[in-house]
Amino acid sequence: MSTYLTKRLIYMVLILLGASMLIFFLYALTPGDFVSSNMKLTADRKAELREIYGLNKPLIDRYLLWMKNALHGDFGYSLAQQKPVLTLFNEYIWNSFLLAITSTFLTWLLAVIIGVISAYRQYSWFDTLVMIGIFAAMSIPSFFIGLFLIKTLAVDLKWLPPGGMMTTGSNATGIAYIKEVINHMALPVIVMTLLGVGSLTRYFRSNMIDVIKQDYIRTARAKGMTEKTVLFRHALRNALLPAITLVGFELPGLFGGSLIIEKIFNWPGIGQLYMQSFGARDYPLLMGFTMFIAILTVIGTLVSDILYNVADPRVKL
């Protein structure tokens, strides 16, 4: 295990080094930046700002300085927000994490339950309805579902607020604050769950169909075990093994935010901040966020590999 981890850590460093170069030069070579695209500034003021922020230095010098600061936990300074990038992350990323962790939990819970039942009752009316719902959820755009639910549940029925994280002018604290946040996050969580449960359900369904045809499942039934025990204790455990590889891709998603969903529901998350930074050409924030996601992706991949070995000792690292 220690040898494997050492090799993986070396690979991770090399991968992140390559990713940092790609991210930096991709944004640095993009025409225009926050200073040059700001029409309110005079030419002298632009030249002064470019000197202050080091935008007039050679690309290699800028990259080396950026990497040096990043290794010390400094991902730069947001020119548009006038705050350090990490400070902005801390302000917005936990709002996105709250949405993502809730929707991910509900997505996996529903996908496992529906996938197991659908595989057990293959080609039944329930399985047919599930497959229709899966393809419908995968084909309908997220913005359409979001706007439709806002129109139905928020505007027409007035069951839930249409957007935001808090009611305008609210000073709620304690339990009242928690209830208000839960009330506002209900709609985006529903949309994110509907969008994710379709493909994941199909994944679990196909895995379960393959597993329940194995000899050891027939042996378990022959021993007189209940169908519930056979499905959820024996079949599901092995059907979940391939899904462990998906855990690595969930980690960056938990902190990366949902660009479209946060924009539709005006949720103050990192995804919406990322979109605003594109319009303002705030490259320090864009570079810092993209590098942060790259780090999470590499870490998530390592975690999924280790978890797969823990779940199935037959798999060697």
Total count of domains within the chain: 1
Residue 77 lies in a domain: no
Concatenated DSSP letters of the chain: -HHHHHHHHHHHHHHHHHHHHHHHHHHHTSS--TTTT-TTS-HHHHHHHHHHTTTTS-HHHHHHHHHHHHHTT---EETTTTEEHHHHHHHHHHHHHHHHHHHHHHHHHHHHHHHHHHHHTTTSHHHHHHHHHHHHHHHS-HHHHHHHHIIIIIIIS--S-SS-SS-TT----HHHHHHHHHHHHHHHHHHHHHHHHHHHHHHHHHHHHHHTTSHHHHHHHHTT--HHHIIIIIIHHHHTTGGGGGHHHHHHHHHH--HHHHHHTT--SHHHHHHHHHHHT-HHHHHHHHHHHHHHHHHHHHHHHHHHHHH-TTS--
Residue 34 lies in a domain: no
Concatenated DSSP letters of 37-86: T-TTS-HHHHHHHHHHTTTTS-HHHHHHHHHHHHHTT---EETTTTEEHH
Q: What is the pLDDT of residue 244?
A: 78
Residue 104 lies in a domain: yes
3-state secondary structure 73-117: CCCCEECCCCEEHHHHHHHHHHHHHHHHHHHHHHHHHHHHHHHHH
Name the pTM for this structure: 0.85
Name, in order, each residue with C-beta under 8 angstroms of 185's C-beta and a sequence gap of 6 or more.
98, 99, 102, 165, 267
Closest by CA to 197, choosing from 265, 266, 140, is 140
Closest by CA to 142, choosing from 307, 271, 238, 311, is 271
Q: What is the pLDDT of residue 17?
A: 93
CA angle 186, 246, 268 (to 5 degrees): 30
CA angle 277, 286, 300 (to 5 degrees): 130
Task: Give the separation between CA 233 and CA 229, rounded to whole angstroms.
Answer: 5
pLDDT in tens, 149-200: 999 999 998 898 988 888 877 787 888 888 998 999 999 999 999 888 888 8
Output the CA–CA distances (angstroms, integers) from residue 299 to 93, 292, 312, in the order listed. 18, 11, 20
CB 14, CB 304: distance < 8 Å: no
Range of the domain at 142: 93-277
Q: What is the pLDDT of residue 186?
A: 92
Q: What is the pLDDT of residue 22?
A: 94
Q: What is the pLDDT of residue 23?
A: 92
Residue 100 lies in a domain: yes
CA angle 70, 71, 75 (to 5 degrees): 15
Q: What is the pLDDT of residue 317?
A: 60
Q: What is the pLDDT of residue 215?
A: 87
Residue 160 lies in a domain: yes
Task: Give the separation between CA 152 and CA 136, rounded to whole angstroms.
Answer: 19
CATH of the domain at 157: 1.10.3720.10
Q: What is the pLDDT of residue 33?
A: 77
Closest by CA to 230, choosing from 204, 202, 208, is 208
Q: What is the pLDDT of residue 316?
A: 67
Residue 48 lies in a domain: no
- Residues in the chain with pLDDT values less than 50: none
Residue 247 lies in a domain: yes
Residue 153 lies in a domain: yes
Structure tokens that stand for 270 in this block: 């990192």
